[in-house]
Amino acid sequence: MKGPQRLDRAGYPPIILDPAEVTADPNGISWTYSAKDDDTGASVAVKITRASCSDSMSDTKYTFEAEVDHAQIGPLKGCAISDPEKFPEFRKKNQLDAPDDATAKDQPLDKDKEKEKEKKAILDPITGYHSPTAIAYLDASGRVIVAHGELRKTAAPSGVELSLSHDGKSLLYTRSDSKTGPERSIVLYDFDSGRSRVVAGDNVRQPFWSPDDSRFAFLKFDGKIWQVWVASTTAPEKATLLSPTSVDSLHGWVNPNTVLAADMQNAFWLGEDKPAQTVPLKDIYGDVFQIISSDSLRVNPLNSDLLVVSAYYLNLPPGAPTDQAGLSETFFLYEIRSHRRTLLGPSDTFTRDAVWSRDGVQLFFTRGVPGKSALATDRMFWDSTGLRRYSTGHALVIGR
């Protein structure tokens, strides 16, 4: 097929492929299609061999074997079918690739724009997604707002590090208890009653609800280091140490027994029932982004191998807006097993605090330069399509 093509994998956004040559083996029964990953430049080879094949998931017998080798993702094997009637995009592309009329020939084209448009055209529209029905965010004056549909309530005049329960009924946030010192508390707000109470005090921060909303994890300072603790909302005074590992930031739960945390060197998967898994942050950030403790790493709710990372550029791209420190932040996807990294945040926009929707295909993020421009929340699908304004609030988190 002429032009860009698409590689789909379950649980990940599609990969656009830039095609190269197709070579045929002398025996005439196999062909190798070469391409490269449009986002990462990794080489891709697809070998099709005429041979009987079964996919083991049905009784269908195929006439071709298929082998895909992606330099980052690794090898994939399966069956193939040749049937243009089942692939309308094949027919459309090969018919419309070279217009014959003089008007089209004479029309000046922006090659870069045409190429980008062609790539977007091969992405199937994302349907069946679910817009959030319970969210929390900070408004322009810094108030903590919880919204269920059109019903909005002010949970607190100020607060940071919001975490909304999966049922949307309870909000955890960090409250500063001193204008001059580091003292902070974690407050629990109940949406139905409108009541608030402190569930962790002294010097604590970054609360996150467990997947079943029965507990929350948070960071606690012991006077020397920060560590991850866990408590139930029914007996928060009985909080227990989850891991003795010294960390600088907490990034949420991976599963009911494991949280993701980090220091300035590594990301840690800290669990109650197994040793910690460690991944160097240098592997995640590469040479494009710098490591700062305020960065956020969020695990896709349906695929624990996929992260969205909000981080600052190491070297600013042309046109990138900067904050008062001369830095610019964006967000990208990272696949832990394959080390594949794809930039999603627009390079001409300051973005931060990217979070997943519960269906795992939408990303909500704060757009705007802190201290320089108004902050708001935009939404984008995980394949970089569907960008639109979502809310005038910022630092948004999703309950359901």
pLDDT reported for residue 71: 97
Burial code (b: 16+ CB inside 10 Å, e: under 16) for 129-144 equals: eeebebbbbbbeeeeb
pLDDT reported for residue 55: 81
Domain annotation covers residue 34: yes
Give, in order, the Cα–Cα distances in Å from 120 to each of 13, 125, 311, 329: 13, 10, 26, 25
pLDDT reported for residue 152: 97
pLDDT reported for residue 1: 65
- In sequence order, the 6+-apart residues with CB closer than 8 A to the CB of 111 are none
Domain annotation covers residue 309: yes
Cα–Cα distance measured from residue 101 to residue 105, given in angstroms and rounded to the nearest whole number: 7
93 with 180, same domain: the answer is no
Asked if 67 and 75 touch (Cβ cutoff 8 Å), the reply is yes
103 with 143, same domain: the answer is no
pLDDT reported for residue 101: 44
84 with 176, same domain: the answer is no
pLDDT reported for residue 47: 96
pLDDT reported for residue 202: 86
Q: Is the pTM of this model over 0.75?
A: yes
pLDDT reported for residue 98: 46
Pairing of β 61-70 and β 277-280: unpaired
Nearest by Cα to 299 from 345, 270, 335, 257: 335
Domain annotation covers residue 278: no
Nearest by Cα to 310 from 331, 286, 335: 331
57 with 143, same domain: the answer is no
Please give the average pLDDT of every successive group of 10 residues along the chain, which has 400 residues. Answer: 85 94 92 95 96 85 94 94 73 55 50 72 90 97 96 97 97 90 91 97 95 97 96 95 96 96 97 86 96 96 97 94 95 97 94 97 97 95 96 96
Domain annotation covers residue 202: yes
- Which domain covers residue 314, as residue numbers? 134-209+287-398
104 with 11, same domain: the answer is yes
Q: What total of structural domains would you count in the chain? A: 2
Q: What is the CATH number of the domain that holds 325?
A: 2.120.10.30
Domain annotation covers residue 223: no
